[in-house]
């Protein structure tokens, strides 16, 4: 049981990278770490099925999902379209 007032964390599956276990961050956590150039790419290419390799690398380095050969989840795209700040 969590103490009163403590926040619950939602964890995603834990990927294995180079023999280390790392927790994948939620978009709210890694989005703020992206360079404006990469944020603009995602905004301009909403719901893209092919992610720019540089943008995918930036997401992975910021703690987000590995986008090599895949795309963001629909919830992540919703965040970018609705909740992300256009003034970075």
| Among 83, 73, 88, CA closest to 39 | 88
Residues 6+ apart with CB under 8 A from 80: 27, 31, 42, 43, 46, 72
Tell me: the pLDDT tens digits for 12-65? 555 555 556 667 799 999 999 999 999 999 999 999 999 999 999 999 999 999
Is residue 36 within 8 Å of residue 88, measured between CB atoms? Answer: yes
For residue 79, which of 39, 52, 23 has the smallest C-alpha distance?
39
Domain ranges of the chain: 16-83
* Adjacent-strand bridge partners of 17: 20
pTM for this prediction: 0.70
């Amino acid at each position: 049981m969590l103490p009163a007032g403590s926040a619950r964390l939602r964890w995603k599956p834990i990927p294995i990278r180079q023999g280390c276990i790392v927790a994948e961050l939620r978009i709210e956590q890694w989005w703020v770490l992206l360079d404006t150039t990469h944020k603009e790419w995602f905004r301009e290419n909403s719901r893209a099925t092919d992610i720019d390799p540089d943008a995918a690398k930036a997401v992975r380095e910021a703690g987000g999902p590995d986008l090599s050969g895949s795309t963001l989840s629909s919830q992540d795209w919703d965040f970018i379209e609705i909740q992300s700040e256009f003034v970075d």
